[in-house]
Amino acid sequence: MSEEVQESKIREIKEKAFLLFEQQQYQESCRIIKNLPYHERDTSMLVLEATNLYYLKEFEEARACFLDLATIIPDSVEVHLYLGRILEILGEDTAKQAYADAVRTDPKNREALSYHSCYCIASYDLEGAVPLLKRLISLRSDPTDIKTLMQVYNRLGEYEETVRLYESAGSGMTAPGEYIHALIEGGSYQKAVGEAYAAYEKTHDTCLLRWYLCATTKADLLTGLVRYKTFIETNPDSLLASDFISVLLKNNRPSEAVAVYKEHLAGVHTPACIRAGCRAYADFDPDRASRLYESALSDDSYTGEESSQQLQRMIHEYRLILTRIHSQEEAERIFFRFATERKETVYLLEAGAMCQESGDMEKARSWFFLAFKTDFIAGGLPFARFLMQTHESREAEKTLLYIIKNTRTCHDIEEVALYIMQKVPASFTLDRVRNAMQQRLSDNLTSLSTKGRAWYAQSLAADAEHLLLSGDTNLALIQCLTGLAIVPSGAFPVSQDLYQILLRCKERDLITPDIRNLFVQEKRESRERIDLYTLLPFCTPEEMRVLLYIKEHSPCYERDIREYLGTRRAAGIINRLIVKCREKGITIIKKEGYGDAGEIYRYVGP
């Protein structure tokens, strides 16, 4: 067969692979690509194969392929976006870095900006979402993006920014609830009343009606109460009634609140409505309130962060009601029975707090420890704090180290770091705990939220201060420079602290050290401590066999490894191994293209 005929045949096969992909025949498209000679599998075929795997929901294999492609064609936004989606589906925090790489590759790509901003919001990195949404709006003034940014500003408490954004970029939009909410929080009640009523007249949206009534009550209480009565009678709505009850209770009108509950909510059994009844009866009829709390707490619909906080408030309110209508001993008996039946962390913690307030530290310790066993983060952190309050420093340290070691997601790592920084007294923040926490933050640096990076920088500042006082100027200098490199642009107090400590380091030493040598020395020393078997405890026995084979026979071909393992799955095993190493920040195996016997692998580890 002539060379021209061969090239024509290969071209037809590639075109067929694309055609099958367009026809959503992903498995068949994949099969054709895998049957191509290795030297004919160019970048376009590698991207097509990875995309096929994505749509086949073979996410582990797709991840390995897109990770390879991200190094082969690092300027491809499409590759970074697919990688980000896959990592997000797999629940990997590194999805954030993939989306960031897509934005960095093309800062004007709306799809990349949209995916990255959505991921930031979903992972509670609201500060990180702000500049991305601003860029989206600057490229095209989309009402959806404007509304999303307003929501983010409100959640951050930056109400002036919400008002400014809407009034500058939101012309032509019906005034959304986010804008009215910001006006109310900013004290512009009369303006909020006008905007909310005009918007409600256009849409008849109950949400806008609730904002209108809220603003009216803020502007003029008596007028607001009349408006509530009027609208609830003409438009019966459980949420409006719940709002009305809240307003009445805030203004010391419990009997009226009970009347509203009886008339409009007594037959509604949603948690929000029952809680409104609990609060209405709390002062008027505590016995009835306690029964309503028990009814509300028997509901299992409290999911998500906001609902979890609401559940925590309800449990606390229920406990306080019990202590009002029963003796301490009887209240404890009822609540402990309730907590034992539920066996949820929030109940166990409240039981521990109840014992601690009554002075029974032994029982309190038992409840807090049970909460720790139920949830090592949500229960473990309060348990560690209790141990510190009772001067069990050694046990507290062991508990915190266990939590730090076993925390997996980036969100949880940040939660633990914040708890230690804010709620653990400085005298108890032992070196081992601080160092372990800094290491976890450092290991997950690219996936940290904006707040997470600020907290990490703050911990480095505290560490640098400690090192400077102990006389280790060089290491204090490194900590300051590291902190300044990672601190977010908006974290001015932390930046100033780091800079001031940096100046004190320079004043302490007459001769400024060569900082480059300090970093190189630290990196070299850390590499010398690497041991292959302690480095890869996360490998399966099969992956370790492959790793040792490649190390001994480097460079070697895919066909050699297939014959060694006795399976055609060699490429998949190696891809998983490479992914695991990358997640740990390690490079041990490097791909060096294709040969007649398949992919070529070289060992580059210690």
Count of residues for the chain? 606
Residue 155's pLDDT band (cuts 50, 70, 90)? very high
Q: Please choose, from the candidates 165, 158, 217, the residue with its C-alpha nearest in 3D space to the C-alpha of residue 189.
A: 217
Q: Please choose, from the candidates 248, 251, 269, 275, the residue with its C-alpha nearest in 3D space to the C-alpha of residue 259.
A: 248
Instruction: Write down the pLDDT at residue 597.
Output: 72
**In which element (H, E) is residue 593 found?**
strand 589-595
Lowest mean pLDDT among 7-11, 70-74, 300-304, 380-384: 300-304
Instruction: Write down the pLDDT at residue 171.
Output: 61
Q: Does the structure show a pLDDT above 90 at 338? A: no
Instruction: Write down the pLDDT at residue 162.
Output: 93
Q: Please choose, from the candidates 576, 564, 568, 477, the residue with its C-alpha nearest in 3D space to the C-alpha of residue 536.
A: 576
Instruction: Determine the Cα–Cα distance for residues 488 and 458; give it in Å rounded to an integer.
Output: 11
Instruction: Determine the Cα–Cα distance for residues 86 and 92; give it in Å rounded to an integer.
Output: 9
Q: Please choose, from the candidates 182, 181, 148, the residue with its C-alpha nearest in 3D space to the C-alpha of residue 164.
A: 182
Instruction: Write down the pLDDT at residue 1.
Output: 53
Residue 401 has φ and ψ, to the nearest 5°, of -65, -40
Contacts of 513 (CB under 8 A, 6+ apart): 473, 474, 477
For 522-545, what is the mean pLDDT?
Answer: 55
Instruction: Write down the pLDDT at residue 302.
Output: 54
Residue 58 has φ and ψ, to the nearest 5°, of -90, 70
For 154-170, what is the mean pLDDT?
Answer: 90
Q: Does the structure show a pLDDT above 60 at 391? A: yes
Q: pLDDT tens-digit profile of 537-581?
A: 566 777 777 888 888 888 888 888 888 877 766 777 787 777 777
Instruction: Write down the pLDDT at residue 2.
Output: 64
Q: Give, in order, the Cα–Cα distances in Å from 506 to each of 480, 485, 495, 500, 510.
A: 11, 18, 17, 10, 7
For 192-198, what is the mean pLDDT?
Answer: 92
Instruction: Determine the Cα–Cα distance for residues 351 and 41; give it in Å rounded to an integer.
Output: 63
Q: Does the structure show a pLDDT above 70 at 77? A: yes
Query: Which of 34-38, 314-318, 514-518 is modeled with the greatest confidence?
Result: 314-318
Q: Does the structure show a pLDDT above 80 at 40? A: no
DSSP 261: I
Angle at 491 between CA 170 and CA 151, to 5 degrees: 25
Q: Does the structure show a pLDDT above 50 at 530? A: no
Q: Does the structure show a pLDDT above 80 at 296? A: no
Cα 396 off chain centre by:
26
Q: Does the structure show a pLDDT above 80 at 189? A: yes
Residue 510's pLDDT band (cuts 50, 70, 90)? low
Reply yes or no: is the peptide bond before residue 555 cis, omega within 30 of 0.
yes
Q: Please choose, from the candidates 482, 474, 481, the residue with its C-alpha nearest in 3D space to the C-alpha of residue 512.
A: 474
More confidently predicted of 514 and 8: 8
Instruction: Write down the pLDDT at residue 192.
Output: 93
**In which element (H, E) is residue 63 found?**
helix 59-72
More confidently predicted of 395 and 272: 395
- Other CB atoms within 10 Å distance of the CB of residue 379: 24
Q: pLDDT tens-digit profile of 98-132?
A: 999 999 999 999 999 999 999 999 998 999 999 99
Residue 511's pLDDT band (cuts 50, 70, 90)? low
Global confidence as pTM = 0.78
Q: Does the structure show a pLDDT above 50 at 527? A: no
Q: Does the structure show a pLDDT above 80 at 428? A: no
Instruction: Write down the pLDDT at residue 269.
Output: 73
Instruction: Write down the pLDDT at residue 282.
Output: 82
Q: Which residue has the tokens 């003796």?
A: 327
Asked whether the beta carbons of 265 and 276 are under 8 A apart, the reply is: yes
Residue 433's pLDDT band (cuts 50, 70, 90)? confident
